[in-house]
Amino acid sequence: MGLFDSNKALSARCVGISNEGCGVVRIEEKGAKEEGMKVFVHDMLPGEKGRIRITERKNNMTYGVKTGKIESSKNRCEPMCPEFPRCGGCQIQHATYESQLQMKESMVRNCLVRMGHFPENEIRACMEKILPSREQFYYRNQMQYPVEYSREKRCVNIGLYERNSHRIVEHEKCFLADPSAEIIRNVAQIFFSGLDQIEAAKALRQIVVRVGMMSKEMMIIFVVNKPVKINAEAFVKTASEALKNAKNGMRIVSIWTEERPSGTKWKNPKGVWTNIWGETTIREILGNRVFRISPDSFFQVNSKQTVVLYDKIKEYLRKDGVLPRMLLDLYCGTGSIGIYCSDACHHMYGIESVESAVIDARNNARSNFIEDTEFFCCRAEDFDFGAMMPDAIIIDPPRKGCDEKLIEKLLELAPTRIIYVSCNPATLARDLQRLFELQQEKGAKYGIKSICPVDMFPNTTHVETVVLLSKTSEAPKKEPSLKFSDMDEQETEVL
């Protein structure tokens, strides 16, 4: 602990929420050497006060725990899930939904101001009110259930990981998952605990369930660490009976295995995919568009709220009343954004690095009778745009954000507008800062016209953000640049 006394209780006030759902707490103990220190404390909400105890300092971050009675916030509520204190699936289910929205708005704004170094008054002026989700529970169309095999009990345990660990929490149901995914989990729990499935159970590492909420089609992926025989016919028969009894209209149409040998990096797996039963894809319906989804293709996890997100993107494409002649959709995945917005442009090109997703995108364009659309398999930052002169570009990168080389190419292409769709406010702020710094060298080109957070993930700290950048002849105003390390000393307040 070094300078800190782990046994000392200190007065503190929670001023914000971290990306992991911990309370961002400031020490208010007068005269103490820790006064003003920022500490991350689990299960504290903005506005709550009380006494905490510092437990550890790790990676320049200080952590603590509550000790004694805490003055509760008016925004605290009883979580629906009894396993919420342990399970890592949710982070803020103990906060009212209205306060969750306020936290997410504040998170986006603070990242742009603290990390992007944009003037706060300008961010507030162009930031729209967050778009809420109509459903706060049972919205996830994809679930990844870790599996562990007990040699002692000769059975499997399938659930979700405990917070900050790889221990599986036994739970009756997940309140975020589509109920049909939980039915599959319960069936698998019994099925793979049978003596005739013991070899498959030992090899099983994860079960992924993908649900077409509108199409009522389901895909199941068994992730294994070695080749193993799974009786898919018997599993489908048992699971279909359970789905029928639930009277939800869901049906299994596709089952895959993905073989990931032991030692393979899970964050960037290179598995062997095998279709062991049924079709190779499932369908999902967004608005009046139908999309086919392969097992390894990205698709938004909240189908109903995806329509809200895509409608906002389409609104930004039409912002000035002139439809783009040429639209580039980068990191396009299965082509869902570009195809959904195809009636807001004349011609669209999609770029995606995952080959199966590109195949899906081409098939999706054909099945939706979308012409004047082309998709290419390539990393967006490596694509040769040649003589392309797009009027608008949509970028929807993964959580790590954009490659700096791509940001340079965006400035070279110089479209009238850029729409950045982000699931990570921190990398969004970093990328926008990079873009504004790079354009200073080549003359001013873009200004932030609109920012709209969209709540795609209720009861978690995750938030989607849509930013509209418009070409401008004026240099965007910037405050003196701060170092990223200064972020550790900034107070993340929820206003």
Active site residues: 423
Largest CA distance in the chain: 71
Under a CB-based contact definition with an 8 Å cutoff, are residues 444 and 475 in contact?
A: yes
- How many Å from the N-terminal Cα to the C-terminal Cα in the chain? 33
Residue 222 has phi, psi (to 5 degrees) of -95, 115
Q: Round to whole Å and give the CA distance between 193 and 187.
A: 10
Element (H, E) at 246: helix 232-246
User: Hunting for tokens 């070279």 — which residue is that?
Assistant: 412
Under a CB-based contact definition with an 8 Å cutoff, are residues 193 and 204 in contact?
A: no
> If we measure between CA atoms, which residue out of 94, 82, 107, 170 comes closest to residue 493?
107
β pairing state of 282-286 and 272-278 = unpaired
Q: How many CA atoms lie within 13 A of 418 on its CB side?
A: 25
Q: Round to whole Å and give the CA distance between 140 and 43.
A: 24
Q: Round to whole Å and give the CA distance between 197 and 194.
A: 5
121 Cβ neighbours under 8 A, 6+ residues apart: none
Q: Round to whole Å and give the CA distance between 305 and 456.
A: 6
Under a CB-based contact definition with an 8 Å cutoff, are residues 370 and 342 in contact?
A: yes
Token duo for residue 243: 């789905």
Count CB atoms within 10 A of the CB of residue 453: 26
DSSP per position, 59-108:
TTEEEEEEEEEEE--TTB---S-TTTTTBSS-S-TTB-HHHHHHHHHHHH
Q: Round to whole Å and give the CA distance between 201 and 224.
A: 9
Token duo for residue 331: 């990191």
Element (H, E) at 123: helix 120-126
180 Cβ neighbours under 8 A, 6+ residues apart: 209, 211, 218, 243, 246, 248, 250
